[in-house]
Copies of this chain bind each other. A is one copy, B any other.
Amino acid sequence: MSMAEEMLQLARESRAASRILATLSAAVKNELLRNMAAALEGAAANLIAANEIDLTAARERDLAPAMLDRLALDQERIRGMADGLREVAALPDPVGEITGLVRRPNGLQVGRMRIPLGVIGIVYESRPNVTADAAGLCLKSGNAVILRGGSESLHSNTAIGAVLQGELTRLGLPRGALQVVTTADRNAILELLKLEEEIDLIIPRGGEGLIRFVAEHSRIPVIKHYKGVCHVFIDASADFAMAERICINAKVQRPGVCNAMETLLIHKDIAETFIPVIAAALQRQGVELRGCPIVREFAPGAAAATEADWGAEYLELILAVKVVDDLDDALAHINRYSSLHTEAIVTRDYANAQRFLREVGSSTVMVNASTRFADGNQLGLGAEIGISTTKLHAFGPMGLEELTTRKFIVLGDGQIRN
């Protein structure tokens, strides 16, 4: 069987399973997820052994220490996967919800029913825990899932997949509901990305390179999130203590993630008073500053920013800092350089807060809060399958609801159209 035929058969099994998953009650799905959690914990020794094969090969290939760390499974990470599945089991089931049921003049009742998307493909890097996390969210929302992790994690993913599939079987559910692609051949991804009839959505999870690769080759809709170049704008009326607290948190608390601040904009009216304070505070935390000429005037330690700094996603303790004339100037800068991820304003001015909320085009817009809150858990989605920085289907952090769609339902008593 060719790779194309193999992937088509696999995807068709997913499609068939998705029809059954779509009809499951929340109780059955929750039982499944809790059983999977227990089974992962029970199989910890096997999973760690399989992971050891991946780790040995990775060490032989001189993988970077950070990548080895992401690849590694231990008791704690396995418990983390299990806890994640139990948390998703505890979330409300979005499927079946009927909204907006109205009676039309001719007596027809028209509303919308929330339904699963169908079959979701997850393409990710060598982080075995994604296998369980993504599977839990897709299954809870009634979707079949096809999982294709990085080739370095193949043995780990295969072992995790086998444990999870075992629980499907025990409940009499089709194994096609959760499938792990167990070939290291990258053509498998390319073949999957062609199957627009069988797969409804592709979610790449990983770096910009992976996401661009998937987006360029896919005939299936792709949820994209290239990067996070998050801005914080300190308005003239800002409370300085609050502004400092938010800046430090947004930049320093976890600099390597997409919702960390990468550019700080400061209103020119407070340049002289605020820049010395915030520059010193950031530098005390080890942050390297790259500023515009006015910033450098008041923060002598700052290097000169170049054009490239305004669009940079550093993911480390480096910060671009710029003085802007006013809110309009800040909005223009943000709408030019933003990655549509998250932007925040610190202000005491009601009108400026309102304008910032309305006029910033990013997927999460904040007033007087740290950009670090931009994730599904913090925003109350309960869990996060990814973040979309394109506007179609979902915009911003995606939870269970974003793995569903709505169909129209029409309840009549014999109406015909005139």
Using CB atoms and an 8 Å cutoff, list the residues of chain A in contact with chain B: 19, 22-23, 96, 102, 104, 108, 110, 113, 115, 117-118, 200-201, 221, 239, 242, 245-246, 248-250, 253, 335, 344, 353, 357-359, 361-370, 372-374, 378-380, 390-397, 405-417
Name A413's contact: one of B249, B368, B416 (CB within 8 Å).
B368
Contact at B23–A365, with CB atoms within 8 Å?
no
Given contacts A369-B411, A393-B393, A396-B406, 19 further A-B contacts (CB under 8 A): A19-B335, A22-B361, A23-B358, A113-B357, A200-B390, A200-B392, A201-B391, A221-B390, A221-B392, A249-B417, A353-B411, A364-B409, A366-B410, A366-B412, A368-B412, A369-B410, A369-B412, A370-B412, A397-B408
User: In this complex, which of A245, A344, A370, A416 has the most chain B Cβ atoms within 10 angstroms of its Cβ?
Assistant: A416
Contact at A410–B379, with CB atoms within 8 Å?
yes
Task: A113 to B407: give the CA distance in the assembly, Å.
Answer: 22
Task: A110 to B378: give the CA distance in the assembly, Å.
Answer: 9
Contact at A108–B358, with CB atoms within 8 Å?
no
Contact at B19–A392, with CB atoms within 8 Å?
no
Please judge, given known A-B contacts A22-B359, A221-B392, A392-B393, whether A365 and B410 are in contact too, CB under 8 Å.
yes
Contact at B110–A380, with CB atoms within 8 Å?
yes
The A interface is mostly helix, strand or loop, or mixed, namely mixed
Contact at B392–A405, with CB atoms within 8 Å?
yes
Please judge, given known A-B contacts A335-B19, A392-B393, whether A365 and B408 are in contact too, CB under 8 Å.
yes
Please judge, given known A-B contacts A113-B357, A115-B361, A369-B108, whether A405 and B395 are in contact too, CB under 8 Å.
yes
Contact at A416–B245, with CB atoms within 8 Å?
yes
Copies in the complex: 2
A393 to chain B, nearest CB (A): 4
Contact at A407–B416, with CB atoms within 8 Å?
no
Please judge, given known A-B contacts A23-B358, A365-B407, whether A392 and B391 are in contact too, CB under 8 Å.
no
Nearest CB to that of A391 among chain B residues? B405
A28 to chain B, nearest CB (A): 15
Name A407's contact: one of B22, B363, B368, B408 (CB within 8 Å).
B363
Contact at B407–A23, with CB atoms within 8 Å?
no
Contact at B408–A379, with CB atoms within 8 Å?
yes
Task: A412 to B405: give the CA distance in the assembly, Å.
Answer: 30
Q: List 21 A-B contacts (CB under 8 A).
A: A19-B359, A22-B361, A104-B378, A110-B380, A113-B358, A115-B361, A118-B361, A221-B390, A242-B414, A245-B414, A353-B411, A363-B408, A364-B409, A365-B409, A367-B412, A368-B413, A368-B415, A369-B410, A372-B416, A374-B408, A396-B406
Report the 8 A-B pairs with minimum CB-CB distance, sorted nearest first: A369-B412, A249-B416, A372-B417, A366-B410, A242-B414, A393-B393, A364-B408, A221-B392
Specify which chain B residues have a CB less than 8 angstroms from the CB of A408 in the assembled complex: 363-365, 374, 379, 396-397
Specify which chain B residues have a CB less than 8 angstroms from the CB of A379 in the assembled complex: 104, 110, 408, 410
Specify which chain B residues have a CB less than 8 angstroms from the CB of A397 in the assembled complex: 408
Contact at A417–B373, with CB atoms within 8 Å?
yes
Specify which chain B residues have a CB less than 8 angstroms from the CB of A221 in the assembled complex: 221, 390, 392
Specify which chain B residues have a CB less than 8 angstroms from the CB of A19 in the assembled complex: 335, 359, 361
User: In this complex, which of A117, A253, A358 has the most chain B Cβ atoms within 10 angstroms of its Cβ?
Assistant: A358
User: In this complex, which of A246, A344, A380 has the most chain B Cβ atoms within 10 angstroms of its Cβ?
Assistant: A380
Contact at B392–A201, with CB atoms within 8 Å?
yes
A200 to chain B, nearest CB (A): 5
A126 to chain B, nearest CB (A): 27
Contact at B410–A364, with CB atoms within 8 Å?
yes
Contact at B414–A368, with CB atoms within 8 Å?
yes
Nearest CB to that of A102 among chain B residues? B380
Contact at B363–A416, with CB atoms within 8 Å?
no
Specify which chain B residues have a CB less than 8 angstroms from the CB of A396 in the assembled complex: 406-408
Nearest CB to that of A247 among chain B residues? B416
Contact at A239–B414, with CB atoms within 8 Å?
yes
